[in-house]
Amino acid sequence: MKNQWVNALRSGDNVSSYFGVFDLNIGTTKTGAKFLKIRLGDRTGTVEGRVWDSALAEDLYQTLALGDIVIVQGTVTEFNGLQVNLDTCIKVEKEHVELNDFRPCTEKDISVMLDDFIELLATVTTPPLKGLLETIFDSDFLTEFSTAAAAKTIHHAYGGGLLEHTLEVMHYCCQVCEIQGEGINRDLLLTGAALHDIGKLWEYDQEGLSFNRTEEGKLLGGHVILGYDFVQKKIDLVNGFPKKLALHLSHLILSHHGQKEWGAVEEPHTLEAVALHYADLLSARVNQVSQLIKSHSGSEQWTNYDRNLGRSIYVPEVIKKGLKREKSS
Ligand SMILES: [Fe+2]
Ligand SMILES: [Fe+2]
C-alpha cells in the first residue's frame, strides 16, 4: 500500500505511492498555461507537487478536495526545496487506506494501547457501570475510538491521541485510588475517565487529515456537552441504571475541565470529579510539553514561546542529544 514516505523522498526519485491532499491551487506560467499546485503529505510531513499538463491540472482542481487521498506517479525534483512533478494523480476511497498513515499519528502502538484499555475496562465490576461500558465499547466503536485524535492542536492532536490520552488519564486515576485508598469510588472514577472525552469523536472531523472542529462541535458546546448527551442516551439503554450513579457520572463528564473558563459546565464538586480533573490536566500538560520539546530544533536550549503554555521550555543538553539520535535513527 503506502510504500514511499515524504521524509524519505530524494531528488531524482520516481514516486508511485499514496498521499493525502493538504492544499490545492491553480497557478499560471509566464506563457499563460494553467498548472496545479498541490501539497501532498503523510504522517511524516508534506511536500509540494505540480501538475504541468493544463487539462489534467484543471480537471484535478475541479474534482479533488482537501483531505482526499490520492495515488500519484511522478518524479522528485529540486526547486526551492523538494517538488514532485506528477504524471498521474487519482483519487482513492478512504476505506482502502489506513487514514493514520496520512496525518500526524501517535508514536505508540495502537493495538497494544487498545489491549491495555480493554484490560482496564474489565477491572470495573459494579454491574451498571460494567453494563454501560459494554454497551458503549463494542468492537466497531473501539476501532473508531482507537484511531481518533484528541484535538486539532494543543495536546494529543494526532490519530490515536484520544486513546493515548484516555489511557493516561485512566492510569493516573488508578494511581490516585491506590494512594488515597478506599475513600474513592474506583469503578465510578475509571468509568468517568474512560468516557470523559468521548464527545471528541464528534467535536473533531475524525475522517479528515487535519482534525478540524465540526459544525456539531462548534454549535453544540464541544465535547463536554456532546459526550454528556451521548452517555445519557447509553445510560437509558442499561436496565435499572441507578439515578444517583447517573448523576455522579454525568457530573464527572460535565466538570472534567475544572473551571468554567476552561469549558467546564460545573466545577468539580465530588472527590472523583476533582481527581479526574487533575488526572486529565496532568496528561494534557505533560503531552503538551513533550510535543514542544520534540518539535524543537536548532542549537538553543530554550524552545520557542508556546502561547498555550504561556512559557518556553528549557531543553537540557542531555535531552537534545537523545532527540537527535531518535530523529536520525
Ligand atoms: Fe476534555
Ligand atoms: Fe481529556
Q: Region 289-318: what's the mean pLDDT?
A: 86
Average of per-residue pLDDT values in the chain: 93
Distances (CA, A) of 159 to 78, 82, 174, 270, 306: 31, 26, 25, 32, 22
CA of 81 to the centre of ligand 2 (A): 38
Q: Which amino acid, one-letter code, is at 231? A: V
Burial class (CB in 10 A: 0-12, 13-18, 19+), 49: buried
Q: What is the pLDDT of residues 90-127, one digit of tens each?
A: 999 988 898 999 998 999 999 999 999 999 999 999 99
Instruction: Kindly identify the ligand whose nearest atom is closest to the C-alpha of 281.
Output: 2
The vertex-27 CA angle with 23 and 30, nearest 5°, equals 155
Q: Give me 304's grid cell.
A: 520557542
- The number of the ligand nearest the C-alpha atom of 264 reads 1
Ramachandran region of residue 78, left (φ > 0), alpha (ψ -120 to 50) or beta? Answer: beta
Q: Does the pLDDT value for residue 321 go beyond 70?
A: no
Question: Which residues are in the CB-under-5-Å shell of ion ligand 1?
Answer: 197
State in Å: Cα 11 to ligand 2 middle. Answer: 42
Closest ligand to C-alpha of residue 155 is: 2
Residue 231 CA to residue 229 CA, distance in Å, equals: 6
Question: DSSP for 236-292?
Answer: HHSTT--HHHHHHHHHHHHHTT-SGGGT-SS---SHHHHHHHHHHHHHHHHHHHHHH
In this predicted model, what pLDDT tens digit does every residue of 194-217 receive, in sequence order? 999 999 999 999 988 889 999 999
pLDDT, position 181: 80
Give yes or no for a contact between 146 and 163, defined as CB atoms under 8 angstroms apart: yes
Take residue 11 and report the three cell numbers written for it: 531528488
pLDDT band of residue 231 (cuts 50, 70, 90) is very high
Question: What confidence tier does 79 reach under pLDDT thresholds 50, 70, 90?
Answer: confident
* Rounded distance from Cα 82 to ligand 2 centre (Å): 38
Q: Give the per-residue pLDDT at 210.
A: 85
**2.40.50.140, 3.40.50.1700, 3.40.50.2300, 1.10.10.10: CATH of 6-96:** 2.40.50.140
Q: Please give the pLDDT value at position 153.
A: 84
pLDDT category at 320 given cuts 50, 70, 90 is: low
- Adjacent-strand bridge partners of 72: 17, 89
For residue 323, the model assigns a pLDDT of: 59
Which one, of 49, 41, 182, lies nearest residue 104 by Cα?
Answer: 41
Nearest ligand, CA 280: 2
CATH topology of domain 103-289: Hypothetical protein af1432 (1.10.3210)
CA of 82 to the centre of ligand 1 (A): 39
Cα 126 to ligand 2 centre (Å): 23
Q: In angstroms, what is the span from residue 280 Cα to ligand 1's centroid?
A: 8
- Cα(188)–Cα(125) distance, integer angstroms: 10
How many whole angstroms from 151 Cα to the centroid of ligand 2? 10
Query: pLDDT tens across 127-183, in order?
Result: 999 999 999 999 999 999 999 999 888 899 999 999 999 999 999 999 999 999 879
CA 149 – ligand 2 centroid, Å: 11
* Ligand 1: centre distance to CA 12 (Å): 46
Distance from the alpha carbon of residue 254 to the mean position of ligand 2, in angstroms: 12
Question: Which amino acid appears at position 158 of this protein?
Answer: Y
Q: Residue 96's pLDDT is what?
A: 85
Query: What distance in angstroms lies between residue 196's CA and the mean position of ligand 2's atoms?
Result: 6
Mean pLDDT of 292-310: 86
Instruction: Indicate the domain borders of the chain.
Output: 6-96, 103-289, 296-328
pLDDT at 152: 85
**What end-to-end distance do the CA atoms of the chain give, in Å?**
23
Average pLDDT over residues 271-287: 97
What spacing in Å lies between the alpha carbon of 182 and ligand 2's midpoint?
24
Helix (H) or strand (E) holding 91: strand 82-92
CA distance 6 to 311: 32
Three-state SS at 54: helix
CA of 55 to the centre of ligand 2 (A): 48
Q: What percent of the chain has pLDDT over 90?
A: 81
